[in-house]
Chains A and B, each alone.
Chain A
Amino acid sequence: MRRLAILLVLVAAACADAGQDSGTLRYYLTADPVSLDPALSTDVQSGEMITMLFDNLVRFDVDAKLVPGIATRWEVDSTASVYTFHLRSGVTFHDGQPLTAKDVEASILRALAPGSRGRHWPLQPIQGASDYAEGRAGGISGLVVPDDSTVVFTLREPLNIFPKFLAMPVAAIVPASAGADFSGNPLGSGPWKFVSWQHDNALLFAANESYWGGRPESDSIRVRIIPEASTQAAEFETGQLSVVEIPFSETQRWEQEHGDLLQRRAAIRDFYIAINTTRGPLADVRVRRALNHAVNVETILSTIMAGRGVRAAGAIPPGVSGHDPSRKPYEYDPERARQLLAEAGYPDGFPLQLWRSQRTEIARVSQAVQQALGAVGITVEILERDATSVRAAVRNGETDLFIGDWYADYPDPENFTWPLFHSRNHGPGGNYAFLSDPALDAMIVELRTTTDEARKEELARLVDTRVFELAPWIFLWFPEDMWATQPDLSGWRIPAVFTGQRWTEAVVSE
């Protein structure tokens, strides 16, 4: 028995040593990416990987600033509807083929092709894109390639943030020769080359020695698939991961044990409860304000969320143009809440259903909200379902309250107004409150179309103020991301958007 134990230890030691090669970056995803084919990417995991393997015309840096990619510069006409991109010369795909404007055109046609199941919306603004996607046209009228180094987009309506859409994974550039089974062997022009992908286990990428933007600092990156947060932490603590995200519930332990390894960053994200403004008493703005007054957001934030976040008084997060730090949040005032409910004709309250997914912190926050609303006479029933059921119910307008978060795809006030509150986006589009306000709609449309930056910021502020007053949400907080990084890792920062970290500067010191 003892001999067996010694043998086991020796074998284990040998195996553990074999896994310790230096110079490799070690990252992880919480789920297997859906696809490494940009045309099929709908999830964050795919997006993160595609960003490393491929280039876009433009991309986001780690601070979510829009920077040149394959395009060195671009121009827009005075109506914000014709965009001309000029391409970098001498860029090649990983197999040595040159990347030209023809590939850009082919990539967009491919992503929008009828029958494609990708996440189209960033490309839909191009004139004729919908007709092409639905099989009514053989090409896209708004996409023109006059020569090998120029791409001209004409949009169906003015849109000032269109270049940001082109930084999304679905707009990544693949070779014109890409076939249907591209995901298993993706070929891009990005800083990393695809080596292998064992589903649900790990992906391996190697440095692209001839990357136009300079070779990555490290030789390779191994991306494991690790769904369980406790396992992620164990892998980090045993040195097998370069970085790890810290769950809200684990904040204090990490601050005490590894305070020197932590990085923090204000996330461009909303944590909120959507109030369906079409259902019963919730149609009355006084009731929705009462809900906001009834919840002690400050306490929930400091206890359950370990203080990781900034109290929200609107939907536009700090760091995004239009955010107004001077706006005061709804004050915690149960008396005022009761009074507003009485004015609206509900002195004895009413029952509500709150839908939530199974994430730990959401469970705790839901209970706190339930208790707070109970105190002003609103009995809340919490319905816990898996994410897909919750999503379907919310989008079909079957929920009174829905608790969740909204991640920025790109740091722009449009991302926190148009999908969330414009009446055209009820349900699947992102407007889970089913808010319809013509004045608000008009301002949001102008915000999308104006070419005057100052006017845009002013509009964003006005829209956010109006949203705050209409109270389609219980405004909770803008969360703070926290990651731990190994002491020997440098050149890595928490990205502001999910496409912002390409690991090109990250390096493990020997």
Chain B
Amino acid sequence: MKSFIAVRLALMVPTLLGVLIVTFLLLYVAPGDPVQAMIGERADQATIDRLRAELRLDDPLPVQFGRYVSSVVQGDLGTSYITGRPIAADLMDRFPATLKLAASAMLFAALFGISIGIYSAWRPGSWGDRISALIAYAGVSFPVYWVGLLLILVFAVMLRWFPASGYGGFAFLVLPAITLGMRSVAFLSRMTRAAMQDVLRSDFVRTARAKGLGETPVVLSHGLRNALIPIVTVLGLDFGSYLTGSILTETIFSWPGVGRYVLTAIEKRDLPAVQGSILFLSFVFVLVNLVTDLVYAKVDPRVAYD
């Protein structure tokens, strides 16, 4: 187990290096010029040339890349071209907000998605099952953007139950968490239903029922327990993607997370900020995947990492 973790952590290095190279090349070929974004209106050529020289943007690409990698290796993500603030600090400023939103969305999705899935698998063809199918289709078909605005309109503007947007306590979390978690609810409920149906039809479940076990332990202990692998996979992947920022949800709900930070950085061609954020977020994503893999072993004793 320990050596498995060590190998996976070591493998992160080439993964992140690959991410860095791709990001660097993409930003290099992308149109637009960071200096033009920095300088605002009414610029003069002398200032532009001076800034290009100061930022050493005219150096050959490999030289720029080498310089960047060497500072990253020393633990320095650099400072933003635009704001002059250290990028690592900016990311740490925003990551708690993203974590809070991602965790809430995941909690919401797991709670509702798995419950709905279990019910549907337990009573396939029932009204409840049909409604859950409808919810799932709605969840995957409605764009996040539209769901978010609809929730704001209904629950903030019309009913006044929740604040329309902003960062704060529980009340501020409800609408963005639902918006972000919607899609996961849909996937999870279908995934749970499918996996559970397979399990519930299997011999050992029939045996469990035959020996007189009640429905609750049959469905939860025998059924859910054995259907967990695909569910954990979906949970892990979705959580990873939520943690790396959800630009639309954060924008609609004015949520100060990393998604908006990255978006702003890309829009302004803030090269070090984009590279730093993508590096950090890739790291988070890879880490979440590793944890997911470790959870497999916990969930299914047949999975062992030796």
Contact = CB atoms under 8 A, between A and B. Distances in A.
Contacts, number: 160
B220 interface: no
A200 B256 contact: yes
A427 B269 CA distance: 19
Contacts of B47: 120, 133
A386 B32 CA distance: 9
Interface in A378-397: 385-389, 391-393, 395
A430 B39 CA distance: 12
A61 interface: no
B23 interface: no
Interface in B100-120: none
Nearest to A239: B160
Contacts of A9: 161
A392 B171 contact: no
B169 interface: yes
Nearest to B48: A428
Contacts of A429: 42-44
Contact of B84 (A35, A134, A393, A409): A35
Given A200-B254, A234-B157, A240-B164, 14 more contacts: A12-B174, A14-B171, A117-B39, A117-B81, A121-B44, A200-B256, A200-B257, A228-B165, A228-B251, A230-B152, A234-B153, A238-B157, A386-B32, A428-B39
B31 A392 contact: yes
A389 B47 CA distance: 19
A11 B251 CA distance: 24
Contact of B169 (A15, A115, A202, A392): A15
A385 B31 CA distance: 9
A227 B43 contact: no
B36 A201 contact: no
B33 A430 contact: no
A19 interface: yes
B41 interface: yes
A34 interface: yes
Given A228-B252, A231-B254, A12 B32 contact: no
A51 B20 CA distance: 40
Given A231-B165, A387-B267, A391-B36, A12 B42 contact: no
B285 interface: no
A137 interface: no
B90 interface: yes
Interface residues of A, number: 59
B264 A198 contact: no
B222 interface: no
A15 B44 contact: no
B267 A11 contact: no
Contacts of B172: 15
Nearest to A15: B171
Contact of B46 (A117, A130, A235, A430): A130
15 contacts: A12-B171, A12-B174, A16-B161, A42-B39, A115-B54, A117-B38, A117-B84, A198-B167, A198-B256, A227-B254, A230-B152, A234-B164, A234-B165, A238-B160, A429-B44
B216 interface: no
B39 A11 contact: no
A35 B83 contact: yes
A121 B33 contact: no
Chain B CB within 10 Å — which of A121, A133, A228 has the most?
A: A228
Contacts of A16: 160-163, 171
**Which 9 A-B pairs have CB atoms at the shortest separation, nearest pair first?**
A15-B171, A200-B256, A42-B40, A234-B164, A388-B32, A428-B43, A201-B256, A389-B32, A389-B31
Contact of A419 (B42, B46, B94, B157): B42
A176 interface: no
A392 B36 contact: yes
Interface in A112-156: 115, 117, 119-121, 124, 130, 133-134
B260 interface: yes
Nearest to A390: B32
Contacts of B239: none
Interface in A28-58: 31-32, 34-35, 40, 42-43
A238 B43 contact: no
Interface of A: 8-9, 11-16, 19, 31-32, 34-35, 40, 42-43, 115, 117, 119-121, 124, 130, 133-134, 183, 198-202, 224-228, 230-231, 234-235, 237-238, 240, 385-389, 391-393, 395, 409, 419, 425, 427-430
Given A231-B152, A389-B32, A226 B160 contact: no
Given A199-B93, A234-B153, A234-B156, A34 B82 contact: yes
A391 B38 CA distance: 11
A250 to B, nearest CB: 13
Nearest to A419: B42
A238 B170 contact: no
B99 interface: no
Nearest to B253: A231
Contacts of B261: 200
B68 to A, nearest CB: 19
Nearest to B250: A200
Nearest to B50: A134
A13 B149 contact: no
B254 A199 contact: no
Given A34-B83, A201-B167, A227-B260, A234 B152 contact: yes
A31 B54 CA distance: 27
Contact of B41 (A15, A134, A386, A430): A430
Given A226-B254, A227-B260, A429-B44, A19 B152 contact: no
B254 A391 contact: no
A201 B267 contact: no
B251 A227 contact: yes
Contacts of B152: 230-231, 234
B218 to A, nearest CB: 23
Contacts of A40: 83-84
A235 B165 contact: yes
B78 interface: no
A129 to B, nearest CB: 11
Given A34-B83, A224-B254, A234-B157, A121 B43 contact: yes
Contacts of B94: 199-200
Interface string B22-39: 000000001111001111
B254 to A, nearest CB: 5
B263 to A, nearest CB: 9
B168 A15 contact: yes
A130 B156 CA distance: 53
B26 to A, nearest CB: 14
A119 B40 contact: yes
B264 A392 contact: no
